């Protein structure tokens, strides 16, 4: 398994897109931080810091693109047979790809955190408005910060498992990218509509899009009144849907003919 994960990371490391994605996230964070530093009235600095100056949202888009391609590109390049005729099982090949994606996501997350902290610490205008030892939403700032990162990771894993499923069912990564982007945007842009639907028909709360709001509810527990789900329910549901999509993606991958 170690060998397989190493091979997947080798491929990721040699893809230009991996580094372009990382560069875009970092540049976006720096630009966002500089804009907020100059015009704090546009957005609260603590809110921006919690979201790593837009890095948390953008890295989800980068990971959607990476996830969409990790299996479908093997079919597109005709390399899937070389990958599967070896002594490894399909399950091992699949798990190695998932592990490589998790490592990439964690690296991106770590970079986003480092850049977020770095910009706050080296930019006086930001440093002056973020009190790392202070409070945020009635809890210690650093507590809220790490909760937000954990929630962001959970949301990302949920949407990536769905993207992986779509990419194994359909043969093109474009469809998987589109599904991921649309799913992510719908969860946020149309969250008002979603919450209205939940208020009207309570059973709607169990749909997977609701659990994409876990990140928000972790920071603002009062969101439970709108989602009609407690925070532990949101966390559990998020993990369950991630595992369900992941298992379905594996079953779909196992059935794919080569």
The contact set with other proteins (CB under 8 A) reads 7, 10-11, 14-16, 74, 77-82, 84-90, 257-258
CB of 63 vs other proteins, minimal distance in Å: 18
Length of the chain equals 258
Whose CA is closest to 18, among 78, 69, 54, 93?
Answer: 69
Cβ neighbours for 28, distance < 8 A, ≥ 6 positions apart: 53, 54, 55, 58
Closer by beta carbon to other proteins, 13 or else 110: 13
Closer by beta carbon to other proteins, 84 or else 111: 84
CB of 6 vs other proteins, minimal distance in Å: 10
Rounded-to-integer distance, Cα 158 and Cα 258, Å: 28
CB of 82 vs other proteins, minimal distance in Å: 5
- Residue located via tokens 């527990």: 221
Closer by beta carbon to other proteins, 3 or else 135: 3
CB of 240 vs other proteins, minimal distance in Å: 28
Judging by beta carbons within 10 Å of its beta carbon (0-12, 13-18, 19+), is residue 184 exposed, middle or buried? buried
Closer by beta carbon to other proteins, 88 or else 188: 88
């Amino acid at each position: 398994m170690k060998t397989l994960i190493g091979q997947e990371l080798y491929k990721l490391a040699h893809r230009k897109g991996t580094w372009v994605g990382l560069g875009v996230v970092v540049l976006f964070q720096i630009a966002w931080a500089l804009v907020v530093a100059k015009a704090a009235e546009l957005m609260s600095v603590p809110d921006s810091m919690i979201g790593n100056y837009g890095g948390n949202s953008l890295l989800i888009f980068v990971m959607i693109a990476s996830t969409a391609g990790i299996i479908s590109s093997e079919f597109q390049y005709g390399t899937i047979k070389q990958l599967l005729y070896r002594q490894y099982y399909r399950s091992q090949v699949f798990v190695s790809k998932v592990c490589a994606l998790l490592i990439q996501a964690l690296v991106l997350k770590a970079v986003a955190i480092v850049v977020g902290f770095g910009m706050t610490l080296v930019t006086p205008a930001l440093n002056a408005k973020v009190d790392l030892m202070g409070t945020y939403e009635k809890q210690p700032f650093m507590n809220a910060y790490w909760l937000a990162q954990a929630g962001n990771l959970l949301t990302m894993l949920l949407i990536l498992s769905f993207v992986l499923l779509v990419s194994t069912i359909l043969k093109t990564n474009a469809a998987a990218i589109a599904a991921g982007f649309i799913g992510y945007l719908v969860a946020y842009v149309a969250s008002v509509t979603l919450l209205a639907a939940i208020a009207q028909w309570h059973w709607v709360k169990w749909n997977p899009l609701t659990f994409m709001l876990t990140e928000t509810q972790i920071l603002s527990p009062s969101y439970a009144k709108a989602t009609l789900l407690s925070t532990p329910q949101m966390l559990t549901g998020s993990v369950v849907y991630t595992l369900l999509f992941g298992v379905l993606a594996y079953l779909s991958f196992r059935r794919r003919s080569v």
